[in-house]
Chains A and B, each alone.
Chain A
């Protein structure tokens, strides 16, 4: 673990949450947090607690819904699921990120070749 973990960029957590919910269906906060950690290969520095601020934000925008339910091992938990407008937003944001990362990749590659 010599390398330090990645700090999350502003706004990326919301996108990750949306993607997680779109991929996995209804899920509780802990589940989402674990899923993001696993998907990132434990490279993201995620204070799991911060996920709840993101969840309330997405809920207020109407992109996700929340409902109390029971987890696999019979524990009461709040389950979040993505809404129709949430999926639209996800598609939009995902496209944006892909474009951005593509551009970043190209730019960075160029600077390495033509570098000093």
Chain B
């Protein structure tokens, strides 16, 4: 209590310095007056009386100093002094100050931006209430895509009933495609994307609406009036942020749908659950409506009870799994979700891990890269400060001679670095802000939570931390060096060719070497990531994305009184055939066809089609992804077929046919022992009479561009029911030029066609590669920055040594050295520094590249081409950086050089 009051009064007195000083002044004056008077009374002359009084008082300045020391915080006083002095010296040396602040701003700015990304994706909890209790419940990933990562509605109900550790379980319909909602407000319908969620979705996540209400159980019952929740972004763009939107109804997908609420800005479904996708609205999923019989459609999300550990939740889920039936009416399907032969299962993982776990390694690498940049920036600054310190050594020797302690001088220098660092941090914060706002609006990058990216309190704290550590890091070496020098040495030292500056030279060389080495590590890392990225671009995807585009087409194939779907299949076939014929007639369109799912997007599986008459093996190898397509689709995608494509004759009444990919054909042929290993013409058990394999298709990368391909099976959309229709066209012209024409043709045929996006297939591929590209570009940018800083460092050291050796060079030239010889000697010094740095950097890179091996694609961590390119690049940059001072050295006029100094 007393200590606190004392500290407070000390702090207060710091801010009340002028009045307190004046008071003390008055007190001392009174003291001396009184002493003088007393002395006069004792018989001294007034002059002597005053002299004696002052002598008895002791040093007035010392008394004031001690008084201030006792009453206030000396550190603050000194800080103020140092700051004032620092600002004076820095403003005198404007060039140095600007360069230093700029270097720091780049280094610190990059660090803040990356920290914000890491914080948003990795460190910060998900934007839900008690997010650490949320679990993603799914089997481990398998070949058969989304269908093997989801559960049936029956299974969901059973899990909810039998699990004990979960407070509640929710989920959403995993197969909603983009553009599945069409909003009709007069004019062309507007396409939007909505997701069906189980009614308790928002209660479970703890998300409150910004306006209106969230779903209630009765919203999801049979016959309930259609309701919708809209996202903040859609509310603003589509409904002009209408404050009275709640309870208004709109024509959506042909039904009057009531808006019951607007979701808060902080809730972005796409950002968390499907990175890179824009979700405009949320609708309730009717668990007891049609989806009941649809098989695996629900992704489950659960909230465990407080205090439940992950292991407990996993044990609980394992125990509940045998109760879960794929379909309650098919007793055989009960327990099919439990682990079989080490596959499948019901496994809760923290939702956070599901959302961002796979990015952890990339983010850590990014973080290290940006940390390296800061390190290089610090080394660079150390170097600049050392150069400055060398020229200021006399100033400090003088201060030392006048009584400043070493500590006091180090403190002064640290204040200077702190001022530089904080200024750099402020500027860097500005840079980071620009960068972060730009990232946040890159909707095309498939990184989770990117749209919620911002510079928050944690980022500001991080800024302060790195600014202060940077200041200590780059200020300490020059500071200690300066304060450590002996007095006479510095005062005698003429600054040229003497011992002290030699020592400086050595330290500066070491700093530059380490800077080059660090830049090497960054460059190798960036090079390896770049090569990996190029390799990913080179992957044969099984289709040709260039000059192909897709557009979502609406159609109505309903036929009243159609019992088995035959009539509607015929109607559908006729519609599709007509669209394809009309679109193919557009000049520049080479091929056209329909599919329900595009590669690298959504997918589903229908189970394994075994060869007819073959018993399935015990261990299921997974099942192929299903695509329901029209004739001409594969040609439009640029996927090769052996055998034949579907034709319009493959109708609902003719024999069922399928095409399968090479991988599946190979597996089935091996299993069934088909002659010559050829699958064409053989029958598969796809229900009913089975289907004949008519074509073998190239393996398509349907889930990711990098991983191995799974299996695919294609059904004709006149024999199987497609989920939707994506019209794919292959063009001879750039696809975008045909967009208007194609959309107009489609609209002519169906006036209800919404103004759908015309998506080049290349954008699907780019989207799949976007997170790799994002990391690669960032690391490459940091590597570039690193090289520039290293070049600056080399230039600084060589240039400084040339300046120092002006006289020596002058003498040499006077003695007959040619310009070329002088240049060569400077360049050799440069190369010596650079090559030591490169050698050290190569060793460090070998170690560092092992750490990023998991992020590489078809690229060895010790890839010789990358290392060779690194050596060449850094060598060239170093030579360039050395060439400028070398040229200057060779232009030295011996007469001038010798006359000076």
Contact B71 A76 (CB under 8 A): no
Set of chain A residues within 8 Å of B708, measured between Cβ atoms: none
Set of chain A residues within 8 Å of B613, measured between Cβ atoms: none
B854 in the interface (beta carbon within 8 A): no
B716-732 near A? 1/0 per residue, CB < 8 Å: 00000000000000000
Contact A49 B63 (CB under 8 A): yes
Using C-beta atoms within 8 Å of the partner chain, give the interface range for chain B: 20 to 34
Pick from B33-41, B110-118, B291-299 the stretch touching chain A: B33-41
Residues A76 and B26 in contact in the complex (CB < 8 Å), given A29-B31, A48-B31, A48-B58? yes
Contact A56 B27 (CB under 8 A): no
Contact B2 A61 (CB under 8 A): yes
Set of chain B residues within 8 Å of A49, measured between Cβ atoms: 28, 57-60, 62-63, 66
B99 in the interface (beta carbon within 8 A): no
Cβ-neighbour of B27 out of A29, A31, A50 (below 8 A): A29
B45-67 near A? 1/0 per residue, CB < 8 Å: 00000000000111110110011
B747 in the interface (beta carbon within 8 A): no
A111 in the interface (beta carbon within 8 A): no
Nearest CB of chain B from residue A105's CB, rounded to whole Å: 31
Contact A60 B63 (CB under 8 A): no
Nearest CB of chain A from residue B728's CB, rounded to whole Å: 83
A35 in the interface (beta carbon within 8 A): no
Q: How many Å lie between the Cα of A29 and that of B58 in the bound state?
A: 14
Nearest CB of chain B from residue A32's CB, rounded to whole Å: 10
Residues A47 and B59 in contact in the complex (CB < 8 Å), given A30-B31, A53-B70, A73-B37? yes
Contact B63 A47 (CB under 8 A): yes
B805 in the interface (beta carbon within 8 A): no
A77 in the interface (beta carbon within 8 A): yes
A57 in the interface (beta carbon within 8 A): yes
Q: How many Å lie between the Cα of A60 and that of B14 in the bound state?
A: 13
Nearest CB of chain A from residue B3's CB, rounded to whole Å: 10
B69 in the interface (beta carbon within 8 A): yes
A62 in the interface (beta carbon within 8 A): yes
Contact B26 A47 (CB under 8 A): no
Set of chain A residues within 8 Å of B26, measured between Cβ atoms: 76, 78
Contact B27 A77 (CB under 8 A): yes
Q: How many Å lie between the Cα of A26 and that of B479 in the bound state?
A: 50
Interface centre among A47, A52, A54 (most CB of B within 10 A): A52
B852 in the interface (beta carbon within 8 A): no
B819 in the interface (beta carbon within 8 A): no
Set of chain B residues within 8 Å of A53, measured between Cβ atoms: 63, 66-67, 69-71
Interface centre among A28, A34, A50, A56 (most CB of B within 10 A): A56
The chain B residue with its CB closest to the CB of A63 is B2
Cβ-neighbour of B63 out of A34, A50, A71, A76 (below 8 A): A50
Residues A52 and B34 in contact in the complex (CB < 8 Å), given A60-B9, A61-B2? no
Set of chain B residues within 8 Å of A47, measured between Cβ atoms: 56-59, 62-63
Contact A48 B60 (CB under 8 A): no
Nearest CB of chain B from residue A62's CB, rounded to whole Å: 7
B5 in the interface (beta carbon within 8 A): yes
Contact B66 A50 (CB under 8 A): yes
Residues A52 and B2 in contact in the complex (CB < 8 Å), given A47-B57, A76-B30? no
Contact B28 A56 (CB under 8 A): no
Q: How many Å lie between the Cα of A9 and that of B886 in the bound state?
A: 65
Contact B30 A28 (CB under 8 A): yes
B812 in the interface (beta carbon within 8 A): no
Set of chain A residues within 8 Å of B28, measured between Cβ atoms: 49, 52
Set of chain A residues within 8 Å of B24, measured between Cβ atoms: 52
Q: How many Å lie between the Cα of A48 and that of B31 in the bound state?
A: 9
Q: How many Å lie between the Cα of A49 and that of B9 in the bound state?
A: 22
The chain B residue with its CB closest to the CB of A45 is B58
Contact A48 B6 (CB under 8 A): no
Nearest CB of chain B from residue A63's CB, rounded to whole Å: 10
A75 in the interface (beta carbon within 8 A): yes
Set of chain A residues within 8 Å of B57, measured between Cβ atoms: 47-49
B10 in the interface (beta carbon within 8 A): yes
Contact B67 A56 (CB under 8 A): yes
Residues A30 and B34 in contact in the complex (CB < 8 Å), given A56-B71, A76-B26, A78-B27? yes
Contact A61 B66 (CB under 8 A): no
Contact A62 B2 (CB under 8 A): yes
Set of chain A residues within 8 Å of B38, measured between Cβ atoms: 34
Contact A30 B23 (CB under 8 A): no
Nearest CB of chain B from residue A84's CB, rounded to whole Å: 14
Q: How many Å lie between the Cα of A4 and that of B651 in the bound state?
A: 124
Set of chain B residues within 8 Å of A56, measured between Cβ atoms: 67, 70-71
Interface centre among B5, B38, B63 (most CB of A within 10 A): B63
The chain B residue with its CB closest to the CB of A56 is B71
Contact B35 A48 (CB under 8 A): yes
Set of chain A residues within 8 Å of B56, measured between Cβ atoms: 47-48
The chain A residue with its CB closest to the CB of B6 is A60
Pairs of residues from A and B, 5 with the lowest C-beta to C-beta distance, nearest first = A47-B58, A49-B63, A53-B66, A53-B70, A56-B71
Cross-chain pairs A/B with CB under 8 angstroms, 23 sampled: A30-B31, A33-B31, A34-B38, A47-B56, A47-B58, A47-B59, A47-B62, A47-B63, A48-B35, A48-B58, A49-B58, A49-B59, A49-B62, A53-B67, A53-B71, A54-B70, A56-B70, A57-B71, A61-B6, A73-B34, A73-B37, A75-B30, A75-B34
Question: Could you list 6 further interchain pairs (A-B, Cβ under 8 angstroms) beyond the known A31-B34, A49-B62?
Answer: A47-B58, A50-B63, A53-B69, A75-B33, A77-B30, A78-B30
